[in-house]
Amino acid sequence: MLKFEAGNWVNQGYYRAFIPNPVNRKWEISDPEIIHLLSKANIELGRLDAFSGYVNIDLFISMHLTKEAVESNRIEGTRTEFAEAFMHREELPQDRRQDWEEVTNYIAAMKHSINRLTDLPISSRLIREAHGMLLAGVRGQHKMPGEFRNSQNWIGGASISDAVFVPPPAGELGRLLSDLEHFANDQEHPLPDLLRAAILHYQFETIHPFLDANGRVGRLLITLYLISTGTLRSPVLYLSDFFERNRRLYYDNLSGVHAKNDLKQWLRFFLVGVAETARDGIRTFDGILKLSKSVDATLLTLGRKAEDARIVMDALYLRPVITITEAAELMGKSENTSSRLLQALQAVDILQERPTSGREKLFEFRDYLELFSSRR
% of the chain with per-residue pLDDT over 70: 98
What's the full length of the chain, in residues? 376
Distance from C-alpha of 106 to C-alpha of 216, rounded to nearest angstrom: 8
Label residues 308-338 b or e (16+ Cβ within 10 Å = b). Answer: bbeebbebbbebbbbbbebbbebbeeeeebb
DSSP state of 10: E
Q: Strand, helix or coil at 19?
A: strand
Q: Write out pLDDT tens, residues 161-217.
A: 889 999 999 999 999 999 999 999 998 989 999 999 999 999 999 999 999 999 999
Strand pairing report for 362-364 and 7-11: unpaired
Looking at residues 310-327, what average pLDDT do you find?
A: 95
Distance from C-alpha of 303 to C-alpha of 347, rounded to nearest angstrom: 14
Strand pairing report for 7-11 and 16-20: antiparallel
For residue 141, give every residue at least 6 positions away whose Cβ sits within 8 Å of its Cβ, in sequence order, or none.
135
Q: Strand, helix or coil at 118?
A: coil
Distance from C-alpha of 239 to C-alpha of 243, rounded to nearest angstrom: 6
- CA 244, 252, 124, 212 torsion: positive or negative? positive
Q: How confident is the model at residue 2 (pLDDT cuts 50, 70, 90)?
A: low
Q: Write out pLDDT tens, residues 126-157.
A: 999 999 999 998 877 788 999 999 999 999 88
For residue 352, which phi and psi values (nearest 5 degrees)? -135, 145
Query: Which runs of E-coded beta strand occur in the chain?
Result: 7-11, 16-20, 321-323, 352-354, 362-364
Label residues 19-56 b or e (16+ Cβ within 10 Å = b). Answer: bbeebbeebeeebeebeebbeebbebbeebbebbeebe
Looking at residues 287-311, what average pLDDT do you find?
A: 94
Q: How confident is the model at residue 301 (pLDDT cuts 50, 70, 90)?
A: very high
Full-model pTM: 0.92
For residue 8, which phi and psi values (nearest 5 degrees)? -140, 150
Distance from C-alpha of 296 to C-alpha of 281, rounded to nearest angstrom: 22
Domains of the chain: 7-283 (1.10.3290.10), 291-373 (1.10.10.10)
